[in-house]
Structure 1
Amino acid sequence: MWDTANLTDSSTPRLLRGHRGLVWSVAYNPDGTHLISGGSDGTVRLWDLTQPDPPKVRRGHQGFVWHTTFGPNNSIIATGQDGTVRIWPTITATEPVTYTGFAASVETVTPSPNEQQLLTTHDDGTARIWHCHACGPTEDITALA
């Protein structure tokens, strides 16, 4: 990751180490203070870019984490080879709300502008739009976890 505000020809990137194997996805949160990454080790890692600390590790996926994104309320959303979508309600949450039953690997996920639906893509050639019960106010999401 480069500091683009102070980028020069001699700048070196900040290395974010932690995943074992390939990193498949990265995403910034809206204010740019955090980054999430998903990898072939089945973990989601939350990096606080304002601190030099190691990332917080979120576990749960059985297999690759294909896609990560930030959703409503700075929630963390990740999709996996295991056919699940996992939503951590806030960047401090440790337990996700897990959606299953897709019968296919979930390749990508995007929250709708109204934050009530998620759009997912799958390895069976489908895209699906579905209502997201865990995309509401933080208190409601935490009650589901």
Structure 2
Amino acid sequence: MDPAEPVTSTLTSQVLAAGPPRLVVLGDVWFDDQDAATGTSRALMREHHAVVGAVAVAPDGSWLASAGWNGTVRIWDTATWQQSAILTGHRPSITKRTHSVRGIAAAPDGTWLASAGSDGTTRVWDTATWRQHLKLTDPAVTTLAVAPDGHTLATAGHTGEIRLWDPSTGRPHAMMRVDGGVRARTWSPTGDRLVVGGAAGLYRFTITP
């Protein structure tokens, strides 16, 4: 689409992305890739035709994944802004109900991508082929976070449960619970602490091997 096209829909969030300096701005049915230094729009995408709730960028900046409330994850080549893959694992094949994708996170080395949907699953995708590698059953997940070493995936959501998974095998490491739902999360740079924020406040967990 024309980068100069005006944006008239609702702004939902902004995300600083890796690779070339860029700011990815998320709206109710679009996302906009901007130059972080100048604010100039590089590309405005509306192909989801639904709310774009989250984005994740490859560590080298070569691709961007966008999560839509229409049940798809779309992969974009950031050099051309052409779609290179559409991941439909969260979409039902039989029922007419549409499940949304609410959370998304990329591995630090860029070899896999995790997505969480309202279908009660978190899915891990191989970025070399964009085929599904794992399906984790974990209801009500809305947010994901990958440890700095890439060996642990944290999932959390409305129930207040936080689960730690091995993204290579799908085995759970641990489960914690907080009061109320979890809305935000981040790992410490050293990977030994996980901080989550939600309806009842801020929690910090020390993670030991």
TM-score interval, normalised by the smaller of the two chains: 0.7 to 0.9
Secondary structure of the 2:56 match is: strand
The 5 Å alignment of 1:27-46 reads 27-46=56-75
**Quick check: 1:73–1:89 contact (8 Å CA) kept in 2?**
no
Which runs of no fewer than 5 residues in structure 2 stay unpaired?
1-32, 92-98, 171-209
The 5 Å alignment of 1:81-120 reads 81-100=118-137, 102=138, 104-120=139-155
Residue 2 (structure 1) aligned with residue 34 (structure 2):
yes
Deviation readout 1:49-103 (Å, 9 max, x if unpaired)? 1124235211111411001111154211111111111111114323342111x2x
**Quick check: 1:82–1:106 contact (8 Å CA) kept in 2?**
no
Which runs of no fewer than 5 residues in structure 1 stay unpaired?
136-145
Q: Which has the higher strand share?
A: 2
User: Structure 1 52/39 Cα, relative in aligned 2: closer, same or farther at 3 Å?
Assistant: closer
1:134 shift after superposition: 4.4
The answer for the alignment partner of 2:104 in structure 1 is: 68
Aligned residue-pair number: 130
Secondary structure of the 2:76 match is: strand
Mapped to 1, the partners of 2:145 and 2:115 lie a distance apart of 10
**Quick check: 2:108–2:148 contact (8 Å CA) kept in 1?**
no
Mapped to 1, the partners of 2:45 and 2:165 lie a distance apart of 33
The answer for the alignment partner of 2:159 in structure 1 is: 124
| Larger-Rg structure | 2
User: Structure 1 12/130 Cα, relative in aligned 2: closer, same or farther at 3 Å?
Assistant: closer
Instruction: Single out whichever of 90-99 and 21-30 deviates more from structure 2.
Output: 90-99
Greater relative contact order (CA < 8 Å, ≥ 6 in sequence): 1
Identity over the aligned pairs, expressed in percent? 32
Alignment RMSD (CA, Å): 2.1
